[in-house]
Amino acid sequence: MLILGIESSCDDCAAALVRDGETILSQAIHSQFDIHEPFGGVVPELASRNHLEKIVPVVETAMGDADVGWSDLDGVAATYGPGLVGSLLVGLSAAKAIAFSLGIPFQGVNHLEGHLTAIFLEDRTVSFPFLGLIVSGGHTSLYRVEGFGSYQLLGQTRDDAAGEAFDKVAKLLGLGYPGGIVIDRLSRQGDPQAFSFPRAMTSPKTLDFSFSGLKTSVRYFVQKHEPAFIQAHMADLVASFQEAVVDSLIIKLTQAVTSSQLRRIVVSGGVAANSRLRSRLGEVAETEGLDVHFPSPQLCTDNAAMVAAVGYRHLCMGISSPLSLNAVANLLL
């Protein structure tokens, strides 16, 4: 079965063709980096306007790169939440229009289910059940995953998401946008033990996360020191901040392993592309005998292949969405 997936929940306009939920035939993506970069973050109105301009060429590129025609499609899937409503509506409306005109099923996909199960697009060795950590720009949520469609929330952030903390700290330090990639790169030249930042919510009584205190403590650190000192120690500063985020995630994952008795972990979402998180968790997996999986970096961040893959599974289960389906900003999983 061939599914066209469309993703437009934030600042990436993406389309992908996926066969049988696991073989990616093509992926087209238009990044809005240049538009939002001067503002240091995503401007919702500019995002939705740009999606409107790019959605048709992006879909056409994905179709052309996969060398398939409209009549080859078995279904069209699009993210309907969570995300920016104006942006979501563009991809959602395009998907509905294509499905309606072809007389094929349309599937609205929860973006979080896409992240959580993106691993199956490239790693067939993963089996259920597992601990699924979504660590992205809008979420830091830990699930017990028993199978497709069976997700039990174990813990989530009580304030900022981990990716949001990366972005806000990068903005505070004048490092640009998006912050996660910049901090990841610069941290490689820094000492992660140079400065001490707090690890919040370390008690095993909860599997919730918190990152706003860490962000505030970086702000206090900057206020307490001369600008020249901050500039001279920038790599050490961001490496120490990043280490606090990575430690917080690893502390909760190891607590979850103990309480859930699950030894298999799948990490997804934009922050799962972080090189320090990948290497540190890899080391923990080695010493503790855990089975840890990360999608490749391009499948960690927003993409349409994960949307098409979820659409395929819905189609197999006979689930399709009505054309009246609306965009939902705060959709839960």
Ligand X SMILES: Nc1ncnc2c1ncn2[C@@H]1O[C@H](COP(=O)(O)OP(=O)(O)OP(=O)(O)O)[C@@H](O)[C@H]1O
One character per residue 118-157, x = contact with ligand X (rule: CB under 6 A): ------------------xxxx------------------
* Placement of tokens 């919040």 in the chain: 200
Taking CB within 5 to 8 Å according to partner kind, which of Mg ion, ligand X, none is near residue 184?
Answer: ligand X
Question: Does residue 79 belong to the site contacting Mg ion (CB under 5 A)?
Answer: no
In the complex with ligand X, the residue whose CB is nearer, 221 or 241, is 241
- Give the one entry of ligand X, Mg ion, none that residue 142 binds, where binding means its C-beta sits below a cut-off of 5 to 8 angstroms depending on kind: none
Segment interacting with Mg ion, rule: CB under 5 A, options 13-21, 70-78, 120-128, 294-302: 294-302
For the CB of residue 318, give the shortest distance to ligand X in the complex, in Å: 27
| Binding letters toward ligand X, positions 10-39, x by CB under 6 A | x-----------------------------
Query: Got the DSSP string for 44-94?
Result: HHHHHHHHHHHHHHHHHHHHHHHT--GGG-SEEEEEEESS-HHHHHHHHHH
Binders of Mg ion in range 121-160 (CB under 5 A): 136
Q: Residues 21, 108, 269, 295: which binds ligand X (CB under 6 A)?
A: 269
User: Torsion angle of alpha carbons 189, 194, 197, 203, nearest 10°?
Assistant: 100
Binding flag, residue 208, ligand X (CB under 6 A) = no
Is position 181 an interface residue for ligand X (rule: CB under 6 A)?
A: yes
| Residue 58, φ and ψ in degrees, nearest 5 | -65, -45
Residue 184 makes contact with Mg ion by CB under 5 A: no
User: How far does CA 154 lie from the centroid of its chain?
Assistant: 18
- Least Å distance, CB 214 to ligand X, is 14
Q: Length of the chain in residues, anyone?
A: 333
Give the number of other CB atoms < 10 A from CB of residue 132. Answer: 27
The number of helices, as runs of H, and strands, as runs of E, in the chain is 12, 10
Binds 5, which of ligand X, Mg ion, none (CB < 5 to 8 A, cut-off by type)?
A: none
180 binds, among ligand X, Mg ion, none (CB under 5 to 8 A by kind): ligand X
Measured in Å, how far apart are the chain's first and last C-alpha atoms?
25
According to the binding rule CB under 6 A, does residue 40 interact with ligand X?
no
> Could you say whether residue 333 binds ligand X (CB under 6 A)?
no
Question: Taking CA 228 as the corner, what is the angle to CA 222 and CA 233, rounded to the nearest 5 degrees?
Answer: 70
27 interacts with, out of Mg ion, ligand X, none, CB within 5 to 8 A per kind: none
Q: Per residue in 145-167, is it b (16+ CB within 10 Å) or e — as a string?
A: beebeebeebbbbebbbbbbbbb
* Interface residues toward Mg ion, by CB under 5 A: 136, 302
